[in-house]
Structure 1
């Protein structure tokens, strides 16, 4: 059994808690597309975080949606807004996590017992901002979840190795000044191997490295389906 099969087997046979508050009988999710197919996101909007936030908020309000969602394995043009995603060989554009877009201070919960692997304030324009990485251990399998674009208060009182109980609120969505200058949202990403990194792991890769990174970063729907149940869009 490989890592992915082992993780799938565990998740299908154990209680997995919510990541954010959501009532599938009353709340709605709105898939948001940040590829080149989205012609609404002009360079002017992407260059101004307040305009970008207003665009997201209007989309959610018009759809009567509690959250926007999407992005895993999505080739996104929006990263052209920041030099943080440029490299000499090839710009990074392929998204490796799932984003949940919603109001700043939205609570974030731990889906299973974990310990703090690392945390950091990645304070570059377009970066994660406040970031927490939790470590999960399932028999002989270890995997990690990265929570990015958090509030700075989420980092208060943390220490590597600190135990975080399943179901506990441990973080919240950050405002632009704390989340890398993005509209408020959670970047949620799974990794089997941290590859020696702490407080950070690429959430966006070069397209030519797609297969390598996706093998290490499985679809977060494995976890999020326990929060959103049938409301989760097919393309997430």
Structure 2
């Protein structure tokens, strides 16, 4: 039986973009949100506008179109939200890839999919507008979560709707729609939704790292088709 990685790599020629990117001219900047990044003070993290300015300045300084990164990254930035701060152990390990880009940036479906579910997860620090799509490739089903979208992206959606590969089906949201973050896409692969709809943890406790990484493969398997 093929592994998930073998499945995706064997069908890469069929994968389409998640976000507009010109390999010949556009540049990516890997952003580090771990404790080693001393630039991100509490003052910056606690003010979404200051945080957005910090991200934009980093991108402009190197002429990058997007910031990217975060899979399996133990991040300090989640201390800004009580949503991640369970008393026994805070959630800090990131399970998706973030693509930092301006609000209203178009988001595309990389392969034919059906709408699994959607929701507005509007806690401070949460996903905000969220869409989860279900894919089937060579008989193997899995899901992708797209978080921090615009509220307009949810208009007209119905569970079970087909979204063909290559379709622009969403845009990035402003801070009031995306959980009060600088505009970005949270892109996460999920093999088993565990009965959840419209939501799935994008950040886990470090003690549960092995469990969640096994269920959430590296999204770069998909993004490599369009962003490198």
- Equivalent in the alignment of 1:208: 207
When the two structures are superposed, what TM-score results if normalisation uses the length of structure 2? 0.98
Q: Count residues with an aligned counterpart.
A: 228
Distance 1:102 1:31 in 2: 13
Q: Which runs of 4+ in 1 moved over 2 A?
A: 5-12
After superposition, give the CA deviation of every residue in 1:99-121 in whole Å (9 maximum; x if it has no partner): 00010000000000000000000
2:48 equivalent to 1:53: no
Distance 1:104 1:137 in 2: 30
After superposition, give the CA deviation of every residue in 1:38-69 in whole Å (9 maximum; x if it has no partner): 00000000000000000001111111000000
- Equivalent in the alignment of 1:26: 25
- 8 Å Cα contact 1:71/1:97 also seen in 2: yes
- 8 Å Cα contact 2:35/2:76 also seen in 1: yes
2:178 equivalent to 1:179: yes
Deviation at 1:6, TM superposition (A): 4.8
- 8 Å Cα contact 1:11/1:222 also seen in 2: no
Distance 1:6 1:114 in 2: 19
- DSSP 3-state at the match of 1:54: helix
Distance 1:112 1:93 in 2: 30
- DSSP 3-state at the match of 1:188: strand
- Equivalent in the alignment of 1:150: 149
Distance 2:91 2:197 in 1: 20
- Equivalent in the alignment of 1:73: 72
- DSSP 3-state at the match of 1:93: strand
2:132 equivalent to 1:133: yes
Deviation at 1:3, TM superposition (A): 4.3
The RMSD of aligned alpha carbons is 1.0
- Equivalent in the alignment of 1:233: none
Distance 1:203 1:36 in 2: 19
Q: Mind listing any 5+ residue stretches in structure 1 that lack a counterpart?
A: 230-236
- 8 Å Cα contact 1:3/1:141 also seen in 2: no
Q: Mind listing any 5+ residue stretches in structure 2 that lack a counterpart?
A: none
2:8 equivalent to 1:8: yes
When the two structures are superposed, what TM-score results if normalisation uses the length of structure 1? 0.94
Distance 1:96 1:136 in 2: 19
Distance verdict in 2 for CA 1:6–1:142, change over 3 Å = farther
Distance 1:38 1:139 in 2: 42
